[in-house]
Amino acid sequence: MNTKYIDLISQTYDFPQEEFTLNGDQLKFHDIDLMALVEKYGAPLKFTYLPKISENIIRAQKWFQDAIVKHEYNGTYNYCYCTKSSHFKHVLDEALKNDIHIETSSAFDIDIVNRLMEKGKITKDTYVICNGFKRDQYISNISKLINSGHQNCIPVIDNYEEIDLLTRVTDKDFKIGIRIASEEEPKFEFYTSRLGIGYKNIVPFYEDQIKNNDQVELKMLHFFINTGIRDNAYYWNELQKCLRVYTRLKKVCPSVDSLNIGGGFPIKNSLAFEYDYEYMIDEIINQIKLTCEEEDVPVPHIFTEFGSYTVGESGGAIYEVLYQKQQNDREKWNMINSSFITTLPDSWAISKRFIMLAVNRWQDRYERVLLGGLTCDSDDYYNSEQNMNAIYLPKYEKEDPLFIGFFNTGAYQESIGGFGGLQHCLIPSPKHILIQKNEDGSLSTELFSEQQKSEDLLKILGYHGI
């Protein structure tokens, strides 16, 4: 009987895979020797493998370009990075090695744009697509950017007051987009997204507030489906509804020439993950072209704002199993030396599943376990994989430490978890390592941030100087 962990994984999945390989009984991820990382820095740790960011951007740009050529699509493709998925400088520095643009969601994001501009990492040709509900500071920061001559700054109007607010403080003429409020999937708790303006109201809004406003030029229609770009009836139906609005708008508003289909590309959350990105892009381009031909309007330039897809697959977290508690005949709790709630908050808040694998001891026998975090919150656990409804790991041995890795965790976890801030039960944020590929193909690592210290947390709590 095959009872080793390696047998379980290779019989359940196609293994090894492009990014997951074995070195003896230890796991490598993109050729990163994970145990060497643990030996050098200690666990728990988080890491960012920067080259994956560029790799994903280049792949998507190629797929769009191929579809544009195949369908003789007379428009351009513009890849924007959705900064909210990870605002870190190292992420933007890597992403901006490629020909990309930026999507922002709040006032402070514009300060990041200004810093990048000062450093010459973006130019006035870079599109800055400003989404989100715009309060005073965001309005003011956007208008300063436009007043400074950044003509490719495109605020995407989210509610009926924003044009007025922007024109009051902006001296120059500027371009705008309008966000369509999508209809959510039937299983959702609400029908229409709170973000944007309803389908039926887009053309009347244009007629009422934009058509006779000399200062603004409507350039973009923005469409984002909360559940992402999926090959299902709901997505294609929503895209069709959006394209009907686009063609109707184009007939009364010649300046509109761009369609922003938002973010929402899924990322690999299981070793069994399958998603045909190339087919989806091909079909999106095809459908846009067909609808525009039917309606006899020119096709729009395409913008996307991929967040998870850009940065998600660059990140990982490694924990050590500290101890095993057998709470009854069937339930063994492997306690990790950190917290799921604070370090992978989506695993707790929206039951998101990541790829989880043992880092070492692949030749050992396996057992079924539950994973517990260190906070005293009963919700601080992880109990199943995406397609397995359980967790299996090499058997716990007190004398033979077990390390486990969570992969493709690079999007949203730091900002939602409040990186560097207060943590539940004061369990400190782990250290963070950056990994870069050298010209000769070797990898180099660098400590980005230390594990939080007691003083850091006490200072936030007001104990500073007491």
199 vs 362, which CB is nearer to ligand PLP? Answer: 199
Minimum distance between the CB of residue 209 and ligand PLP, rounded to whole angstroms? 21
Backbone angles phi, psi at 305, to 5 degrees: -135, 70
- Residue 323's DSSP bridge partners are 335
Minimum distance between the CB of residue 269 and ligand PLP, rounded to whole angstroms? 12
Identify the residue among 44, 307, 417, 428 touching ligand PLP (CB under 6 A). Answer: 307
Cα–Cα distance, 85 to 109 (Å, whole number): 12
Residue type, 38: V
List binders of ligand PLP among 105-144 (CB under 6 A): 131
Identify the residue among 305, 313, 320, 364 touching ligand PLP (CB under 6 A). Answer: 305
Contact flag: residue 343 with ligand PLP (CB under 6 A): no
Cα 321 to chain centroid, rounded: 28
- Look-up: residue for tokens 């929402």? 264
Minimum distance between the CB of residue 421 and ligand PLP, rounded to whole angstroms? 21
Minimum distance between the CB of residue 141 and ligand PLP, rounded to whole angstroms? 18
Stretch that binds ligand PLP, among 36-44, 120-128, 260-268, 424-432 (CB under 6 A): 260-268
Q: State the DSSP string of 287-345.
A: HHHHHHHHHT-PPPEEEEEESHHHHGGGEEEEEEEEEEEE-SSS-EEEEESS-HHHHSH
35 vs 195, which CB is nearer to ligand PLP? Answer: 195
* Residue least distant from ligand PLP (Cβ): 263
85 vs 375, which CB is nearer to ligand PLP? Answer: 85
Contact flag: residue 306 with ligand PLP (CB under 6 A): yes
Contact flag: residue 229 with ligand PLP (CB under 6 A): no
Cα–Cα distance, 109 to 20 (Å, whole number): 34
**Pairing status of strand 366-372 against strand 381-382:** antiparallel
Minimum distance between the CB of residue 397 and ligand PLP, rounded to whole angstroms? 39
Q: What Rg do the C-alpha atoms of the chain give, in angstroms? A: 24
Q: Write out the E strands in 189-268.
A: 197-198, 216-223, 258-260
Contact flag: residue 262 with ligand PLP (CB under 6 A): yes
* The two structure tokens encoding residue 61: 């740009």
159 vs 324, which CB is nearer to ligand PLP? Answer: 159
Q: Rule CB under 6 A: which residues touch ligand PLP? A: 82, 85, 103, 131, 224, 228, 262-265, 305-309, 411
